[in-house]
Amino acid sequence: MEQQPVEIAPFHRGNHALSGFVVLGRWPASTREWAQLLTLAVRLAAVPGMVPTTTVFRATDDRPQDPQPGTVGLIVLAGPVIGEGAPGPGQLAEHAPSALVLLHPPAESRPSTPEALGSASGCVLLPGLPHLGLEHRAAWVEAEADGTVTRLVSQVGVDPTRDPDIAVLAMLLAA
């Protein structure tokens, strides 16, 4: 029996910067599916002006006012990593999201190879409950403006102290 697909549609409010994604069909059910969603998000982040600075997004079961049929939730802008509007440590802990996404525009991304200069990058953290045996999972993607994926990694058993992006996201969840 074939599972319903995960569909996403980007949206913005007021300006042309990315404000989030509407998730339709169902939520991603695996690290692999979250990595596929992240790939689309990073491809958008590579488009000039879509993500003006390194930005955090959170998954939520909220829905738009007039949702399309099949809408299951949103991945919404939580704020830039630093500066005005940035979420503080533990700010996302009250309603802990099933996923946090961090997107770096090309100007703030460090490419994995010299050929990938000008690429955007990002990661997704799927927080676990290590004390209950549920490990943190994550994926990292790097993509060029033409959509070419230059790096894709996913991992189970992520140690938040070993990667700066995951450390930032874990800090935002820590209460």
Q: How sure is the predictor about 1, in pLDDT bands with cuts at 50, 70 and 90? A: low
Please tell me what DSSP assigns to residue 160: G
Tell me: the pLDDT tens digits for 91-148?
A: 787 777 789 999 999 999 988 888 888 899 999 999 875 555 567 889 999 999 888 9
CB 42 within 8 A of CB 62: no
- What is 65-101 written as a DSSP string? SSPPTTEEEEEEEEEESSSTTPPPTTTTSTT--S-EE
Q: Give the chain's mean pLDDT.
A: 88
Is 76's pLDDT higher than 70? yes
User: Does 172 score more than 90 pLDDT?
Assistant: no
pTM, rounded to two decimals: 0.90
